[in-house]
């Protein structure tokens, strides 16, 4: 009898197949399957219609029209009785009998009854099961985590939270495929089960800037259930889909603010939620006020008419009067008597609504619990937890950014130095300019042209001979960047010298011994009209900071992305100037590339592997019509 080894292509996705006693499927002249060892000796006779490689000590074999599970000894732990048996993952596999699915373990025991219409792939340790038009959740052991009684369940996010819909209808075909119509929404948690019962027609989460609703908008009542974007600490809800009178609930499902009191509820922070409320029974008498509601006490603080507030930071919040929209008649008169517009000023209040400071011209971003404020050209510092001015106005002429740790760069008598949070001088006021303080270091210049790097003990660690110096990204750093003329070079702080011959036009800060670098400067970001408007609004809050500097900060924090990746010959380099990832990348995949390099032991990635990795990372961005000619760069050869 002649045998031939059955070739099996394996797609490696991070999970190695387990082969029992190195047995391999073989066939005879009649195309019957069996198993042979590495020497070609038939161990299990060729008598089966199909045989698949061993996995987790078991092989799937077909006898007649049915599949079963066999050990390396040729014994069945599961007799051939299923139409299909899937691959084992975490000790369980999917089985099908007719049009129904279930799960079995490696002992051949049924851990999930064969009664489900479908079982989705596991994600985050759970899988969605469907029975008819209802869905539930199972664990990796096959146990039922969520009863099969929901219309739809979204994927879980990084915080272990998912939307659930009960009573709605999941569309299965047509243009509305995979969308949910009607029903009520709730939240399920991986570790706590259902934390918000599905009793809300409209339910939304708060991200850093806005609320995202599970059912798309207040008005549609229909959505595609994507994973939540936040930890769902605060959720907004509505009793009716077609109204704007929301309430607020906490992550545990407890109602914090009832419906039908406020027009809007936004930005809950420090146990204070921003609200908007219309007062007055008759239409002609109605007025809309902004304000706050204390989520613990329920106390309401309404601001004077025409004032709007910003989210609370600690125990303080900034409020300002909104500029009046001039009528056509007022605009005509204003044109005849042109006068400069009055600048926006800010008032600082506490949680009781008491005024702490008025007439503030500028506010620097709050860091480390300290808010730098300006009034009539004089600067002070507010402790946001103590809700009081801890550094009086006039003590300093200016500040750079906000506090980082306990320190802040300050200006006094025309010179720059550094103070701590107790207003004690740490770095003498003797510099023409100073960058700020980060990780115990600051960059400074005596003449406004040549920069060096110093630690807070006063030791100079980089000589003052560079056009610019990047502050180290961590305490006890080994490398940072220095700029000569228009190009950046890696600087070894231990050897006190530049270590790479190639200068880069654009670089990112070092993180974990890696940085993104380009031989060409990136193009300026293209901003949407909404972003431009937001930038203008922020600029009114911080007039002492240029718009260009604001853009740099926004791009650095990821608030605004550049229009495209810079045209470059390299993308990720080591502190020694070695090119670790030789293909251009965008900022959106930079973190993923760094993780890939670290997992690869910090070794240099060849171009083929880099190309394949980028294709995998950006696979969702490519969608081609059937007749399209796919570019060579999008193929993985």
* pLDDT per position as a tens digit, 598-615: 888 888 888 888 888 888
For the cut 70, the answer to whether the pLDDT of residue 21 exceeds it is no
Start-to-end CA distance of the chain, whole Å, equals 39
Say whether pLDDT at 29 is over 50. Answer: yes
Q: What is the pLDDT of residue 616?
A: 79
Band of residue 556 on the pLDDT scale cut at 50, 70, 90: very low
Tell me the average pLDDT across 554-560: 44
Residue 194: what pLDDT?
A: 93
Query: Rounded to an integer, what distance in angstroms lies between the CA atom of residue 61 and that of residue 6?
Result: 14
DSSP run (H or E) holding 606: none
Taking residues 541-567, report their average pLDDT. 47
How high is the pLDDT of residue 146? 93
Averaged pLDDT, 174-195 = 83
Q: Determine the pLDDT at residue 508.
A: 85
Q: What is the pLDDT of residue 585?
A: 81
Q: What is the pLDDT of residue 583?
A: 85
Whether the model pTM is above 0.85: no
* Domains of the chain by start residue, with CATH: 1-82 (2.40.10), 83-150 (2.40.10), 161-256 (no CATH)
pLDDT in tens, 214-233: 654 333 333 456 788 888 88
What pLDDT score was predicted for residue 342?
Answer: 54
pLDDT of residue 236: 87
Q: Most confidently modeled of 243-247, 254-258, 404-408, 610-614?
A: 254-258
Distance CA 29, CA 335 (A): 97
Check whether 333 has a pLDDT greater than 80. no
What mean pLDDT comes out for the span 433-453?
A: 93
The residue among 607 and 337 whose pLDDT is bigger is 607
pLDDT of residue 524: 54
> Is 234 buried (19+), middle (13-18) or exposed (0-12) by CB count in 10 A?
buried
Q: Give the residue from 211, 117, 120, 214 showing the smallest Cα distance to 168.
A: 214
* pLDDT at res. 534: 58
* Cα dihedral: 98, 100, 103, 108 (round 10): -30
Instruction: Give the mean pLDDT of 431-452.
Output: 93
Round to whole Å and give the CA distance between 110 and 321. Answer: 67
Give the separation between CA 410 and CA 217, rounded to whole angstroms.
47
């Amino acid at each position: 009898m002649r045998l031939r080894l059955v070739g099996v292509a394996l797609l490696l996705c991070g999970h190695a197949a387990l082969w029992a006693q190195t047995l391999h499927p073989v066939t005879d002249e009649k195309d019957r399957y069996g198993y042979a060892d590495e020497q070609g000796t038939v161990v299990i006779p060729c008598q089966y219609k199909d045989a698949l490689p061993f996995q987790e000590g078991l092989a799937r074999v077909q006898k007649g029209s049915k599949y079963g599970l066999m050990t390396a000894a040729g014994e069945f732990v599961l007799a051939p009785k299923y139409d299909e048996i899937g691959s084992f993952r975490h000790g369980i596999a999917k089985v099908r009998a007719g049009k129904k699915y279930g799960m079995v373990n490696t002992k051949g025991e049924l851990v999930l009854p064969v009664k489900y219409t479908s079982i989705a792939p596991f994600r985050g340790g759970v899988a969605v099961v469907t029975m008819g038009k209802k869905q539930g959740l199972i664990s990796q052991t096959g146990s039922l985590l969520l009863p099969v009684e929901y219309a739809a369940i979204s994927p879980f996010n990084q915080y272990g939270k998912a939307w659930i819909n009960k009573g709605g209808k999941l569309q299965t075909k047509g243009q509305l495929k995979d969308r949910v119509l009607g029903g009520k929404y709730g939240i399920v948690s991986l570790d706590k089960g259902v934390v918000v019962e599905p009793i809300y027609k409209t339910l939304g989460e708060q991200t850093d800037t806005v609320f995202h609703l599970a059912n798309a908008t207040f008005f549609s009542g229909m959505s595609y259930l994507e994973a939540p974007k936040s930890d769902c600490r605060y959720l907004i809800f509505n009793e009716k889909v077609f109204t704007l009178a929301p309430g607020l609930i906490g992550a545990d499902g407890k109602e914090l603010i009832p419906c039908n009191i406020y027009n809007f509820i936004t930005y809950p922070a420090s146990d204070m939620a921003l609200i908007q409320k219309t007062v007055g029974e008759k239409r002609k008498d109605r007025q809309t006020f902004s304000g706050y509601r204390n989520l613990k006490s329920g106390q309401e603080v309404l601001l004077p008419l025409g004032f709007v507030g910003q989210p609370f930071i600690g125990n303080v919040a900034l409020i300002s009067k909104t500029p009046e929209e001039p009528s056509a008649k007022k605009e005509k008169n204003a044109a005849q008597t042109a006068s400069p517009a009055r600048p926006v000023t800010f008032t600082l209040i506490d949680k009781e609504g008491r005024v702490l400071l008025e007439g503030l011209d500028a506010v620097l971003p709050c860091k480390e619990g300290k808010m730098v404020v300006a009034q009539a050209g004089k600067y002070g510092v507010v402790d946001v937890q103590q809700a009081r001015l801890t550094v009086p106005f006039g003590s300093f002429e200016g500040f750079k950014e906000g506090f980082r740790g306990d320190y802040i760069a300050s200006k006094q008598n025309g010179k720059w130095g550094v103070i701590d949070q107790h207003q004690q001088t740490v770095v003498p006021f003797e510099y023409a300019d100073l960058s700020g303080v980060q990780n115990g270091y600051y960059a400074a210049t005596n003449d406004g042209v040549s920069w060096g790097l110093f630690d807070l003990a006063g030791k100079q660690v980089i000589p003052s001979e560079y056009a610019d110096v990047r502050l180290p990204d961590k305490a006890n750093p080994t490398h940072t960047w220095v700029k000569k003329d228009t190009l950046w070079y890696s600087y070894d702080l231990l050897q006190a010298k530049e270590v790479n011959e190639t200068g880069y036009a654009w670089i990112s800060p070092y993180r974990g011994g890696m940085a993104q670098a380009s031989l060409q400067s990136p193009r300026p970001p293209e901003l949407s009209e909404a972003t431009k408007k937001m930038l203008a609004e922020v600029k009114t809050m911080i007039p002492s900071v240029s718009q260009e500097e604001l853009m740099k900060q926004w791009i650095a924090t990821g608030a605004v992305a550049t229009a495209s990746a810079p045209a470059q010959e390299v993308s990720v380099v080591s502190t020694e100037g070695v090119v670790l990832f030789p293909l251009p990348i965008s900022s959106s995949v930079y973190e993923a590339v760094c993780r890939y390099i670290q997992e690869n032991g910090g070794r240099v990635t060849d171009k083929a592997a880099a190309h394949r990795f980028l294709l995998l990372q950006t696979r969702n961005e490519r969608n081609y019509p059937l007749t399209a000619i796919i570019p060579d760069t999008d193929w993985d050869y």
